[in-house]
């Protein structure tokens, strides 16, 4: 069996590059609606479709600027267009297999993206890149070897997608510790909490009152804005009503909330906030309504205020009927450890699926 031979060629020796047509703006596309896709900077969803087309063959393309700059894609439509935020690569030889180069170029082009307010990659910056290409004994492009390598990359990509789907499924799952019937009491949330909705704190309003105190909205990771006042000072259980509805975040310090979030205000004593988060959040997430998504991506769901009226949880109680705070703390610690392990596993899997792999030729 002959040994595979790999030679590095400058990208400009393999392909010519043509920038997409900048005429395809949203306004233009709206005025020329049709059935032929316009591919531009985005790699997710559809930009527009118009009544004319420029290309009729599959081509290797890359995004030139924006969030997805440097992303390489093959467009296989019969008839389509390419907008100004994308460029087309035309192979200089019929012995160059574009699917092979899709896998090879993807990480190489992304590594050449120039950071800035708008990330970008230009032909000038990438045309001298040395691209590994299989060649035969005569030094000519070996398309059969390209096909074999591309097939291996395709298999790897398929397995990576499966792993990513499993990771998302795992990351969105909840852990439920068993609650013995003895020592627990089923309680309606509205018996334990009042809920308080946030005020009308829009982004425009916040821009008029810039300061250091956070305003929390539907987002559970970062505040909407920072203002020069606060409505609450202390530690509270907060709940997103819109967006990724049902997510519970423990807020502490001086802050405000808007109408997309509300607070659970305890009516009783002996409540462990972490215990409430771990036990209530899975129930509320199961009752959300709206557009679902993976791990919060593109999700928009809602919960009504009345949801608390029909939500019950099992609370540990003492012999005298009081809520058992020590037992709640004990359970919370177990949940903390379990979720730390879960987060660690998700981080490892995420690192695996996001790592670019260049095969050892």
Secondary structure string (H, E, C) spanning the chain: CCCCEEEEEEHHHHEEEEECECCCCHHHHHHCEEEEEEECCCCCCCCEEECCCCECCCEEEEECECCCCCCEEEECCCCEEEECCEEEEEECCCCCCHHHHHHHHHHHHHCCCECCCCCECCHHHHCCCEEEEEECCCCCECHHHHHHHHHHHHHHHHHHHHHHHHHHHHHCCCCCCCCCCCCEEEEEHHHHEEEEECECCCHHHHHCCEEEEEEECCCCCCCCEEECCCCEEEEEEEEECEECCCCEEEEEEEEEEECCEEEEEECCCCCCHHHHHHHHHHHHHCCCEEECCECCECCEEECCHHHHHHCEEEEEECCCCCECHHHHHHHHHHHHHHHHHHHHHHHHHHHHHHCCCCCCC
Last residue of a domain, which of 83, 112, 142? 142
Q: pLDDT by residue (tens digit) across 206-230?
A: 999 999 999 999 888 899 999 999 9
Q: Do the bridges between strand 261-266 and strand 232-240 make them parallel or antiparallel, or are there none, so unpaired?
A: antiparallel
> Is residue 133 domain-shared with residue 219, that is, in the same domain?
no
Question: Residue 20: which CATH number?
Answer: 3.90.220.20
> Is residue 31 domain-shared with residue 136, that is, in the same domain?
yes
Greater model confidence, 157 or 315? 315
Q: pLDDT by residue (tens digit) across 131-179?
A: 999 999 999 999 999 999 999 998 888 888 888 788 777 777 777 787 7
Which residue segment(s) compose the domain that 274 sits in?
A: 184-323
| Residue 87: pLDDT over 60 | yes
> Is residue 131 domain-shared with residue 193, that is, in the same domain?
no
Mean pLDDT confidence for 256-271: 91
> Is residue 123 domain-shared with residue 235, that is, in the same domain?
no
Last residue of a domain, which of 142, 168, 194? 142
Residues in the chain: 361
Q: pLDDT by residue (tens digit) across 22-78?
A: 999 999 999 999 999 999 987 666 889 999 999 999 999 999 998 889 999 999 999
Residue 360 lies in a domain: no
pLDDT score for 296: 47
pLDDT score for 1: 43
pLDDT score for 118: 87
pLDDT band for position 18 (50/70/90)? very high
Residue 135 lies in a domain: yes
> Is residue 201 domain-shared with residue 295, that is, in the same domain?
yes
> How many structural domains comprise the chain?
2
Residue 176 lies in a domain: no
pLDDT score for 361: 53
Residue 157 lies in a domain: no
pLDDT score for 176: 78
Mean pLDDT confidence for 117-125: 91
pLDDT score for 75: 95
> Is residue 10 domain-shared with residue 138, that is, in the same domain?
yes
Residue 333 lies in a domain: no
98 CA to centre of own chain: 28
Last residue of a domain, which of 113, 142, 171? 142
pLDDT band for position 276 (50/70/90)? very high
Residue 223 lies in a domain: yes
pTM: 0.62
| Residue 117: pLDDT over 90 | no
pLDDT score for 244: 80
pLDDT score for 198: 87
């Amino acid at each position: 069996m002959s040994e595979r031979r790999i030679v590095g060629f400058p990208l400009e020796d393999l392909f010519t590059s043509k920038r997409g047509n900048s005429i395809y703006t949203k306004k233009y596309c709206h005025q020329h609606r049709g059935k032929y896709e316009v591919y531009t900077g985005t790699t997710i969803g559809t930009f527009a479709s118009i009544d004319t087309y420029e290309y009729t063959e599959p081509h290797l393309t890359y995004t030139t600027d924006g969030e997805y700059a440097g992303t390489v894609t093959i467009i296989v439509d019969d008839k389509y267009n390419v907008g100004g935020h994308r460029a087309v690569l035309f192979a200089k030889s019929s012995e160059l297999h574009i699917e092979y180069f899709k896998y090879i170029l993807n990480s190489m082009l992304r590594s050449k993206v120039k950071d800035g307010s708008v990330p970008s990659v230009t032909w000038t910056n990438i045309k001298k890149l040395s691209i590994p290409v299989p060649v035969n004994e005569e030094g000519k492009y070996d398309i059969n070897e390209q096909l074999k390598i591309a097939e291996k990359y395709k298999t790897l990509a398929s397995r990576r997608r499966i792993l990513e789907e499993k990771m998302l499924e795992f990351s969105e799952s909840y852990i439920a510790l068993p609650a013995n019937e003895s020592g627990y009491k089923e309680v309606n949330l509205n018996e334990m909490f009042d809920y308080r909705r946030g005020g009308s704190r829009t982004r425009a309003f916040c821009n008029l009152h810039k300061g250091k105190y956070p305003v929390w909205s539907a987002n559970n990771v970062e505040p909407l804005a920072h203002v020069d006042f606060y409505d609450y000072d202390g530690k509270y259980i907060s709940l997103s009503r819109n967006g990724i509805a049902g997510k519970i975040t423990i807020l502490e310090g001086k802050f405000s909330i808007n109408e997309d979030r509300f607070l659970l205000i305890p009516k009783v004593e002996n409540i462990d906030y972490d215990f409430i988060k771990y036990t209530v959040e899975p129930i509320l997430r199961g009752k959300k309504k709206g557009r679902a998504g993976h791990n919060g991506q593109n999700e928009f769901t809602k919960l009504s205020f009345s949801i608390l009226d029909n939500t019950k949880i099992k609370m540990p109680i003492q012999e005298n009927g009081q809520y058992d705070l020590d037992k709640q703390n004990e359970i919370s610690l177990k949940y903390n450890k379990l979720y730390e392990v879960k987060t660690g596993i998700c981080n490892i899997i995420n690192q695996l699926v996001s790592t670019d792999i260049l095969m050892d030729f």
